[in-house]
Structure 1
């Protein structure tokens, strides 16, 4: 493996960032309309860019990098469109990118005419590979290029009718010697000479992510400690995802002193993309930190994103993916359903297994939390039947329910819809007829000898046994006891093992559900479910259903 070489770690025996925690959200800057847009197969049209811009404003972004106006007529015209048509709210700062060349800087300022506040993002590349191979310039020449660019921006800013903030990026910072990166950034700050109430943004990009996040954090902490006029510098990071660690690197960078994060929605951007600001913001939210962004309708954000970029969000994408709050595993389903029940009963701090945040807080439906396939268990089916159909299946009935649903899933060979789960439950358990069918039942109070006080009941019922109608009667302590005694008269011997009931809906016409487990004469125990407007009739139907189940 001599072809590749690891990035040298910084010798930092006094690093402090590992002992810190994120306590507040950073300043967010969306670069979707520039960095994300330039990485699209089909760049956004002006109409799509405007729609995306308005969505970013609605979500709460107050710094938005909109384009590279000196690089193309389309970007220049879009900048003018935003300003001339009044699309930029007073509390939103637009940011544009430019190289450190006089004619490009002047054209950038011309594009910004009338902007009340804007960030001019100046950059040049600083890594050894860029200096030596691409530009063939010395360190001093690279510093001079950056300083000259800053002074040209300062000169144009003095003529601009509005506030201009300088942002400087040593492109390829992650591959630049940290001492040199500090030197060039300090030279830019000193050249700009920020006044007491003025700040310069120094943006440190991992233009190519080449090391683990802890190495990037060490680089940021070095800059945080050594850069000139640190109190007048906003330290910003712009991480890329070449190693899949852009979010982690940006979060560790905050521990190391970064105050601002540039990134994109859902991590769009060149190559593997940038830091995903949706993930970062909701990481804050999950820790009880106000993300300073409104993410209560993530579906809306995803819809606009997909329409404008023609890209889709992965079903496994953190927080936003279709499946990230979904459990197919039986043990996960059981834990989630119990956790939700506990939270609904007690409230307080969110503490539901497998769900880092409440899906409802980002506009997600609870319908998708538990989904059933052949890998699912009894708990998931019971949850769906209760949440969406009102059936509170007893815990003891779980194994029979799970087996029935699994058979249906195996037969279909795919995920079961909620309606299919209910239909399987109905066919397998509810109001079953077959070998024994209930036609009618009537109960009358039974009285003790020589007293008018009722004691127990008499029942008269009409049942169909193997196709033949039979009239039966019996007496007992209650309707079920009397009915089981009546069944014995026609050689159907059953013993009730458990029973529960509940109302299915509110109101005078409410339905009732009863669940009964009986041991039949053959020694087999089965659950049955009865549904009726009358709870007594529902319980008898549950017993008959249990008799008829295979």
Structure 2
């Protein structure tokens, strides 16, 4: 078989019975470093132009990133030129540190410092691969040989920094392919680099532990991070950083658990763009913290702008289900979900802690409209349909009518085979319940209460040929029903009746909804008018019109048989 799992071996977990990280809780955001302009850029089919890089850099600054990796200036002329552009044109805010990457090779480190000349502050990020497979199959070196590369690189980074005393330097070292490196050897190399840089004597040092390839479950990565934190020298003087990739789809989870395990800093990209399946997604992790009541120290409220800029610069579309940023991530099509959202939002008051079913955060925090939350298709139910009418048209329906009308909308969705938009929902409601045939339009009425109850005189029909009727009953509805029963020889029983004021004030419209049985036939109607009495009488006339015209639903038939 070509698909043969036997060619692979399970990743060996860390023997760490004293692990402490599972009991930890993240209480503050880590230091963020955005690597969109380096790691993200090198993974693009078409690398960014200078204009695109500048646009991305400006966005990262606007969002609040204080450390931004801008490129690999020794690897390409465009990266070198962009670095010089930012410095020479004074485009770097005083509180932002740029970071650049270089391999631990003398000629590349020297070129890197040339690119950074004149910078106010900068992070020089040097790396070499330390993993078993890289040592044995790529470099053909033993541990000592790999350690020597790292130490020589660290020494040159320090020596060259002394030639540019006007710049505030931070040194960063990455044992590339850390997850595939024996932990004792990773610590050996880190300590050797630390011996050169001496963070305990005041030199700012970052040790970055990259999951260059995600090789195991996030808990194993957390064990690795905690093990290194427990065993390296000068830990209290070193910032531990992680740089996770998403090969197993767990890049965010691995970074979060790594922070629980002691990491101080996280590198990643907006929307997770990066090599293979991508880098750790900064937007997702930051929003995960936000949803737990933790200040992410980033302003992600303009999510539409973020996705627009990222798509324009990377030429990669955002998946509609991308966490927090996708078009559909706050959208509910399911009927039960819609009903729960509607009820929770109706109960919520300004200032309440966010606690809404199916919505982990308030979509409006990201600039999303509630119009996008509930959308209707054949899977939707009464709650969603009712929510759309309430949200967009200020029309509240009684529960019995929600159930009945949802079948009408569902039928339309099944016929069309797709989404039913808000205007179509309203149109269906208007056609099925609100539309008044001019033969049944209420023209005038007079209600008088006496010792026998209510006496009703009313006129309906065409203006050119109005019909005038009279009836008697205990209330207005019963009196008008009495007149219609005599007129058409039917028996009318009101099964359900509800009225609602639409808006506030003396000029508010009213909505009346009525469901009746006449000669074992069911019919429903609704009406809008300037007052509740007019709305009620018109709804009654429209419902009886269905019986008389034969457009009713037979008694005993399932409500699913109702059609628009």
Q: TM-score range by the shorter chain?
A: over 0.9
**Correspondence list, 1:516-535, <5 A:** 516-520=514-518, 522-535=519-532
1:138 deviation in Å?
Answer: 1.6
**Equivalence for 2:491:** 493
CA distance in 2, matches of 1:20, 1:447: 77
Q: How many angstroms does 1:444 deviate by?
A: 4.0
Deviation at 1:408, TM superposition (A): 1.2
Aligned match of 1:26:
30
From 293, 298, 303, the equivalent of 1:288 is 293
Within 2, Cα distance between the matches of 1:263 and 1:82? Answer: 21
Query: For residue 138 of structure 1, what is the aligned residue in structure 2?
Result: 142
Contact persistence 1:431–1:541 (CA under 8 A):
no
Asked if structure 2 preserves the Cα contact closer than 8 Å seen for 1:514 and 1:529, the reply is: yes
Which of the residues 172, 184, 190 maps onto 2:189? 184
- The answer to whether structure 1 residue 442 and structure 2 residue 445 are counterparts is yes
1:168 aligns with 2:165: no
- In structure 2, distance between residues paired with 1:544 and 1:87: 72
RMSD (CA atoms): 1.8
Show the counterpart of 1:297.
Answer: 302
CA displacement at 1:456 relative to structure 2: 5.1
TM-score, length of structure 1 as denominator length: 0.95
Q: Secondary structure at the match of 1:185?
A: helix
Distance 2:402 2:79 in 1: 61
Tell me the CA shift for residue 323 of structure 1: 1.0
Which residue of 1 is the match for residue 556 of structure 2? none
Are positions 1:16 and 2:14 aligned together?
no
1:451 alignment partner in structure 2: none
Residue 424 (structure 2) aligns with = 420
* Counterpart residue number, 1:510: 508
> What is residue 452 of structure 1 aligned with on the other side?
none
Q: What secondary structure sits across from 2:27 in the alignment?
A: coil
SS in 1 for 2:411: helix
In the alignment, structure 1 residue 270 sits paired with structure 2 residue 267: no
Displacement of 1:423: 0.4
Equivalent residues of 2:86, 2:92 under 8 A apart: yes
> Which secondary structure does the structure 2 equivalent of 1:103 belong to?
helix
Structure 2 regions of 5+ residues with no counterpart? 553-564
**2:69 counterpart SS class:** strand
SS at match of 1:489: helix
- Residue 482 of structure 1 corresponds to 479
> Would you say 1:205 and 2:210 are equivalent positions?
yes
Separation in 2, partners of 1:384, 1:163: 57
Conserved 8 A contact 2:38-2:71: yes
Distance in structure 2 (CA, Å) of the matches to 1:463 and 1:194: 91
Runs of 4+ in structure 1 off by over 6 angstroms are: none
Report the Cα distance in structure 2 between the residues aligned to 1:16 and 1:55, rounded to whole angstroms: 37
- Answer whether contact 1:443 1:457 (CA < 8 A) is retained: no
Report the Cα distance in structure 2 between the residues aligned to 1:106 and 1:544, rounded to whole angstroms. Answer: 89
Classify the secondary structure of the residue corresponding to 1:258.
coil
Quick check: 1:362 aligned with 2:366?
yes
Residues 58-77 of structure 1: matches in 2 within 5 Å? Answer: 58-77=62-81
- Cα deviation digits, residues 71-112 of structure 1 (max 9, x gap): 111001100111111111011110000111222111111111
Please give the per-residue CA displacement for 1:399-427, whole angstroms capped at 9, x wherever unaligned: 21111111111221211011001101111
- Matched length: 540
For residues 492 and 426 of structure 1, the distance between their equivalents in structure 2, rounded to whole angstroms, comes to 26
Give the distance between the partners of 1:446 and 1:320, measured in 2 at CA. Answer: 61
Q: What are the superposed Cα offsets for residues 46-69 of structure 1, whole Å, 9 maximum, x if unpaired?
A: 001001100011111111000000
> Of 536, 544, 547, which residue of structure 1 is paired with 2:533?
536
Taking a change above 3 Å as real, the CA distance of residues 107 and 356 of structure 1, as seen in their structure-2 partners, is: same
Provide the rounded CA distance (Å) in 2 between the counterparts of 1:353 and 1:545.
38
8 Å Cα contact 1:437-1:463 kept in structure 2 = yes
Distance in 1 (alpha carbons) for counterparts of 2:450 and 2:202: 95
For residue 535 of structure 1, report the CA deviation from its aligned partner. 2.3
Offset at residue 225 of structure 1 (A): 0.3
CA distance in 1, matches of 2:200, 2:162: 14
1:62–1:304 CA distance, 2 compared to 1 (3 A): same
Q: Distance in 2 between matches of 1:372 and 1:145?
A: 61
Give 1:195 deviation, angstroms. 4.4
1:37 aligns with 41
Q: How big is each residue's C-alpha offset from its partner over 1:357-385, in whole Å with a ceiling of 9 and x where there is no partner?
A: 11111111111111111111111100100
Give the match for residue 319 of structure 1.
324
- Structure 1: distance between partners of 2:173 and 2:58: 26
Report the alpha carbon displacement of residue 533 of structure 1 after superposing the two structures with TM: 1.9
527-536 or 260-269, which deviates more: 527-536
| Per-residue deviation, 1:468 | 7.6
Q: Distance in 2 between matches of 1:331 and 1:61?
A: 40
Cross-structure match for 1:472: 469
- The separation in 1 between residues aligned to 2:480 and 2:6, in whole angstroms, is 85
Match of 2:315 in 1: 310
Q: Is the 8 A contact 2:150 2:193 kept in 1?
A: yes
Q: 1:343 to 1:198 in 2, by over 3 A?
A: farther
